[in-house]
Amino acid sequence: MARSRAPAVTRPELAGLAERVSTWQLQHGRHDLPWQGTRDPYRIWLSEIMLQQTQAATVIPWYQRFLRRFPDLATLASASLDEVLTLWAGLGYYARARHLHQCAQIVYTRYAGRFPQTAAELARLPGIGPSTAAAIAALSHGERTPILDGNVRRVFMRLEALDADPAAASTLRALWALAQRIIEAAPASLDMTAYTQGLMDLGATVCTRHRPDCARCPLAGDCLAHRQGLQNALPRPRKRRDRPLRQSTVLILQHEDHVLLTRRPARGIWGGLWSLPEFADAPALQDYCLHHAQAGQPARALATFEHDFTHFRLQIHPWYQPVEGRRPGPAAEQAWVSLPALARHGLPAPIARLLAGLQAGAGACALPSAGPARQ
């Protein structure tokens, strides 16, 4: 395979690239996404944070629910983290939700509720990286600043037939330089909103990871990968590492119509969400039930299941234990929550699914058993 040097705007045809992307977007790009058609930095920021590592089709219902509950920055800044995490539950990458809440409070108090207008200032706020900051600044204020999210990175790597690790620091420096030079070569009249959105639209709908639709691409004539027949080979997929299998043993402790929830640590998986009490293994769980749960019968092992994360798989071993008599007081960062109130607590998606039978009023009989508990 022919290897390309670091990208640079040395090819004359790239001088008009930004205008071609802008024109294409206005005619053929996406125009029906719920966060389009606005210059409101709050709505643009919210959508850009949600779109980090998540596809637009997935984001839309979460975005709409968020706006119904938090229609403006002041409402979000004054809300509790619990409220934010509850609405975020199921969207994943929960650090985004914590940073979202923190960022809203900083903008409300430090900037009098007005987002900074430049990418450089925006990038200093929690959860806003360079590309996200540039997208917000370009879409809300028309700042002439380049973006380089994952989709745009793929467009530029194919444009220059760059056979390199997309995540390598040297690759990213070269791509940022290319992105900057393309804007510098564009006329002052460039529609930055259409250009920025156009790059994102190209990467999401045309220059896709698999089977790019070069016939629809306004840059096909300029694309070195297309000229060399390498559009399906570039960028080179990163070598997949084997994802380790981790174990988690959790307990559904139920007293009448209440279950015991524990708040997860801020760092780590499901950071800040409410979940079930977790134990090192089944013997530790059973010992807890024996000494603290006022159990009238042995704990029952439920069916084990797996949940996938980006870098590992989690095997979850749930147990069920009813509590008789008075329920024990919760420890720090714990709470007894009624079944109807579970919906008001941010629960990880697999834990929410596990508790669905209880929420439906079916009780423990709706929970699939793994057989008799080991003693």
What CATH number should be reported for the domain holding residue 249?
3.90.79.10
The answer to whether residue 375 is domain-embedded is no
The answer to whether residue 373 is domain-embedded is no
**Do 219 and 362 belong to one domain?**
no
CB 205 within 8 A of CB 33: no
What 3 state SS string does 151-195 have?
Answer: HHHHHHHHHCCCCCCCCCHHHHHHHHHHHHHHHHHCCCCCCHHHH
* Range(s) of the domain holding residue 354: 245-366
Structural domain count of the chain: 2
Identify the CATH number of the domain in which residue 188 sits: 1.10.340.30
- Both structure tokens of 179: 């992105």
In three-state secondary structure terms, 281 is coil
**Do 208 and 284 belong to one domain?**
no
**Do 218 and 283 belong to one domain?**
no
In three-state secondary structure terms, 251 is strand
The answer to whether residue 7 is domain-embedded is no
Q: How many CB atoms lie within 10 A of CB 6?
A: 14
**Do 207 and 150 belong to one domain?**
yes
Contacts 24+ apart (CB under 8 A), 133-138: 134/196, 135/44, 135/48, 135/196, 135/200, 136/41, 136/44, 136/45, 136/48, 138/192, 138/193, 138/195, 138/196
* Cα–Cα dist 207/151, whole Å: 8
The answer to whether residue 239 is domain-embedded is no
**Do 282 and 352 belong to one domain?**
yes
**Do 62 and 155 belong to one domain?**
yes
**Do 179 and 32 belong to one domain?**
yes
**Do 17 and 74 belong to one domain?**
yes
* Cα–Cα dist 193/186, whole Å: 14
* Cα–Cα dist 374/248, whole Å: 17
The answer to whether residue 237 is domain-embedded is no
CB 252 within 8 A of CB 367: yes
At 327 the pLDDT is: 78
**Do 183 and 264 belong to one domain?**
no
Please tell me the pTM assigned to this model: 0.86
Residue where one domain finishes, among candidates 172, 199, 227: 227
The answer to whether residue 6 is domain-embedded is no
Q: Which residues participate in catalysis according to the annotation?
A: 48
- Return per-residue pLDDT of the chain as tens, 375 residues: 445 444 444 567 688 999 999 999 999 999 999 999 999 999 999 999 999 999 999 999 999 999 999 999 999 999 999 999 999 998 989 999 999 999 999 999 999 999 999 999 999 999 999 999 999 999 999 999 999 999 999 999 999 999 999 889 999 999 999 999 999 999 999 999 999 999 999 999 999 999 999 999 999 999 999 999 999 999 988 777 788 999 999 999 999 999 999 999 988 889 889 999 999 999 999 998 888 776 667 889 999 999 998 889 999 999 999 988 787 788 889 999 999 999 889 899 899 999 987 766 555 545 666 643 333
CB 8 within 8 A of CB 177: yes
Residue where one domain finishes, among candidates 199, 227, 255: 227
Residue whose C-alpha is closest to residue 348's, from 286, 278, 293: 278
The answer to whether residue 219 is domain-embedded is yes
- Both structure tokens of 70: 């938090």
At 15 the pLDDT is: 81
**Do 48 and 133 belong to one domain?**
yes
At 189 the pLDDT is: 95
Residue whose C-alpha is closest to residue 262's, from 279, 281, 284, 277: 277
User: Which of the 8 DSSP states describes residue 240?
Assistant: P
Residue with tokens 């973006």: 147
**Do 124 and 259 belong to one domain?**
no
Phi-psi region of 202 (alpha: psi -120 to 50; beta: other; left: phi over 0): alpha
Rg (CA), the chain: 25
At 360 the pLDDT is: 67
The answer to whether residue 236 is domain-embedded is no
**Do 110 and 255 belong to one domain?**
no
Residue where one domain finishes, among candidates 227, 254, 269: 227
